[in-house]
Structure 1
Amino acid sequence: MDRTLTDLLAMDATARRFGCGLNPRLRAAIEADLRYPSRAAAAPPRPAAMAGPLPANVTRLVDRSPLPERKKA
């Protein structure tokens, strides 16, 4: 997603030379999103903490078994 937003800002810089471009508030929001990525908001979960009992409102997702290979006709 970062690459897409960076490309969008680059296209906006080119378009501004011709008198058009992104809404300034949208441009500021995209720049802010690139400066503060959500992956930096919290530490990654530890496997030991995820193995214990969960709260009542949480459902544990089960691992799916691999799909069998399709047989050729």
Structure 2
Amino acid sequence: MFIQIFGSMLVLVSFLLVQAKKLTPDSQIYLLLNSIGSGLLAFDALRDSQWGFLLLEGCWAIVSIVGLVRSLRRS
């Protein structure tokens, strides 16, 4: 349960920071928070055989990781 709450908080905090215009959707911090948060949620979904949630969070994690890697390569 801790993994779900921590992962959710990371995703929600990053979203709130973008909405508050403290981060941009392409910032490395935003992408890192999303990658870790959604990765934790995907892991938890896999562990509990929640296939729809795994699909959602797994895709979210992959997209965030790809964006983060692209951003790091530009730096």
> How does the TM-score come out when normalised to structure 2?
0.38
Which of the two has higher C-alpha Rg?
Answer: 1
Report which of the two has the higher share of helix. 2
Q: TM-score, normalised by structure 1?
A: 0.39
